[in-house]
Structure 1
Amino acid sequence: MQLSDATWTDAATSDADVAIVPVGSTEQHGPHAPLGTDVFTAEAVAEAGAEEYDGEVVIAPSIPVGVAEEHRQFPGTLWVSEETFRSYVRETVGSLAYHGWDRVVLVNGHGGNVDALREVTGRITRHDDAYAVPFTWFEAVGEHSSEMGHGGPLETALLRHVSPAHVDEDRIADAREGASDGWGEWQSGVNLAYDSAEFTENGVVGDPTAGDAERGEVLLGLAAAALADLLDAVVTRDVERPEDR
């Protein structure tokens, strides 16, 4: 059930035993992909995973602005602090739990959200009346995960599959030309760069030409299957907190 499309009476009769919250970002993704890429991809994976899961799922409205100050030099990028983001996520999960949907998976499409999501879901699980876990789709696509960049092959491939109109094909060559090979500037295991503009001319990391629609279909299948397995694990897990030793 898509919560945004449902009436309150629909919600009242839902038998869903787990909820999904897509979490993205509004940020630059190079000259060829939209600012909403991380929202679009998170929503696509959330919907595909819910369809594959053998049970009823509530899909909450997406959280469209995340921890993205690292892209601030590129116009259109929006961001909030980690504190604001964590509070918003926590209170959203609390709202779902109030209605009985107290097992929640946050389906994430943005790398900058990862640390904050892990921290806040731990806090929710330890201190609130809910159990929550994060799921970042590009970490769940097997060997493809090693090629995750930014506006690169994986995100471009998934967009080409689920929403091809959102990819400006006339700018793909420019996107590749101005891209960096990897994320950051590294020394002694430390990333010296804080902002993406320090190491990529046009905001792209990785080669978007390596991400065709066929690959996007594969990526969606892998991510959906992994999410469906996670949903099952979350629903069946004993979430009682261990006693003090």
Structure 2
Amino acid sequence: MDLSDATWTDVRNLETNLAVVPVGSTEQHGPHAPLGTDVVTAEAVADAGIERVDREVVRAPAIPVGIAAEHRQFPGTMWVSEDTFRDYVGETVSSLAYHGFDRIVLVNGHGGNVAALREVGGRLTRDGDGYVVPFTWFECVGEHTADMGHGGPLETALLRHLEPESIREDRIDEARTDAADGWGDWTGYVNLAYDSAEFTENGVVGDPGDGDADRGTELLELAADALGQLLGAVAERDVTRPERR
């Protein structure tokens, strides 16, 4: 059930405790892909994953702004501090748990959110507010994960599958020409760059030309299968906390 479309009486009558919260970002994805890429992909994976399970799942509205200060030099990018993000996600999840949806998977589409979501999940689980697990779709697509980049082949492929009209195809050559080969500026196993504008002229990392719609179809299938397995495991898991040793 999509909470945005439901009435409160619809929700009152549900007999599930399992919920999914898509989490994205509003940030630059090069000259060819929309600022809302991470929201679109997180929502799509969430919906496809829910279809993989034979139980009712509540799907909350997406959280559209995340930890994205690393893209601040590119107009249109929005961000909040890590503290604000953790608090907002945490309180959003707690409100779901208050209504009995206390097994929650956070379906994430933005790399900058990963560490904070793990912290939020651990804190809420340990405090007893619910059992909360983060899931980042591009970490769960097998060998494709190595090509993630930013506005590169994976995100472009998935958008070409989901919303092909959102890709500015006439800008793909521009996106490829000024893209970086990898994320960051590394010396001695340390990334010296804090902002993406330090190593990519147009915000792109990787070659978006390598991301066609067929690859996007495969990516969605892989991510949805992984999420479906996770939802089943979260629904069945014994979530009582271990005793002190």
Q: Report the TM-score when normalising by structure 2.
A: 0.99
In structure 2, the residue corresponding to 1:47 is in which secondary structure? helix
Q: How does 1:98-113 map onto structure 2 within 5 Å?
A: 98-113=98-113
Q: Paired residue for 2:146?
A: 146
Q: Paired residue for 2:14?
A: 14
Q: Paired residue for 2:134?
A: 134
Q: Paired residue for 2:64?
A: 64
Deviations 1:121-173 (A, max 9, x none): 10000013201000000000000000000000000000000111111111111
Deviation at 1:17, TM superposition (A): 3.0
Choose 231-240 or 11-20, whichever is displaced more: 11-20
Kindly provide the amino acid, as one letter, of the partner of residue 107 in structure 1.
V
Kindly provide the amino acid, as one letter, of the partner of residue 202 in structure 1.
N
Deviation at 1:54, TM superposition (A): 1.7
CA RMSD of aligned residues (A): 0.6
The aligned length equals 245
Which consecutive residues of structure 1, in runs of 5 or more, have no partner in the other structure?
none
Q: Distance in 1 between matches of 2:128 and 2:63?
A: 20
Deviations 1:76-114 (A, max 9, x none): 000000000000011011000011000000000000000
Which consecutive residues of structure 2, in runs of 5 or more, have no partner in the other structure?
none
Q: Paired residue for 1:47?
A: 47
In structure 2, the residue corresponding to 1:200 is in which secondary structure? coil
In structure 1, the residue corresponding to 2:51 is in which secondary structure? helix
In structure 2, the residue corresponding to 1:52 is in which secondary structure? coil
Q: Report the TM-score when normalising by structure 1.
A: 0.99
Q: Paired residue for 2:227?
A: 227
Deviation at 1:188, TM superposition (A): 1.0
Q: Paired residue for 2:97?
A: 97
Q: How does 1:1-245 map onto structure 2 within 5 Å?
A: 1-245=1-245
In structure 2, the residue corresponding to 1:243 is in which secondary structure? coil
Among all aligned residue pairs of Structure 1 and Structure 2, give the percentage whose two residues are the same amino acid.
Answer: 73
In structure 2, the residue corresponding to 1:244 is in which secondary structure? coil
Deviation at 1:14, TM superposition (A): 1.5
Kindly provide the amino acid, as one letter, of the partner of residue 100 in structure 1.
G
